[in-house]
Amino acid sequence: MKFKLIIASVADDITDTVVEAARTEGATGCTVITSARGEGLRKAKTFLGLDLTGARDIVLIIVEQHLARRILETIGRAGSFDAHPGAGVAIVVDVEDAIGLGSQMHTIQTEIEDEI
């Protein structure tokens, strides 16, 4: 079985929306890294040296390769990534190898049975 890693940088107020959207499309779990900092096209404004931008979260989701594109598109729509500048960005990368997914393998195999 081959896996992909979806990495999404999202505004912290939409993290739960993005995670729930991924779950509806077959993701069996995720890891959220909170309080990340990012910089987009325009440099963030500051007030007396304090950053005025909202906190960002990094969402890491390992999924079976056949589900990756659908989940990516779904979280993009759920988080309005293309509609609102700064809402988020997500990428997919190949996973060479993974361990620790044993408890999720039955669910993953059941979910992708129709896909392959």
pLDDT tens string 88-114: 999 999 999 888 877 777 776 776 666
Report the greatest alpha carbon distance in the chain: 56
Going from N- to C-terminal start, the domains of the chain cover 3-40+50-112
Higher-confidence residue of 87 and 15: namely: 15
Tell me the CB-side half-sphere exposure of residue 39, using CA atoms within 13 A. 6
Q: What is the DSSP letter of 8?
A: E
- Three-state secondary structure call for residue 57: strand
Q: Locate all alpha helices (DSSP H) within the chain, ordered by sequence.
A: 15-24, 65-78, 105-112
Instruction: Name the one residue in this structure whose structure tokens are 């940088």.
Output: 9
State residue 99 phi and psi, 5-degree precision. -130, 165
Buried b (16+ CB within 10 A) or exposed e, 59-70: bebbbbbbbbee
Mean pLDDT for the chain overall = 85
| Among the listed residues 68, 78, 79, the one whose alpha carbon sits nearest the alpha carbon of residue 6 | 68
* Per-residue pLDDT at 7 exceeds 70: yes
| pTM score, whole prediction | 0.80
Would you state the pLDDT for residue 49? 61
**Over the stretch 12-42, which tens digit does the pLDDT of each residue have?**
899 999 999 999 999 988 999 998 877 666 6
Is 3-40+50-112 a CATH 3.30.70.120 domain?
yes
Cβ neighbours for 85, distance < 8 A, ≥ 6 positions apart: 40, 41
Question: Within 10 A of 12 (CB to CB), how many other CB atoms are there?
Answer: 14
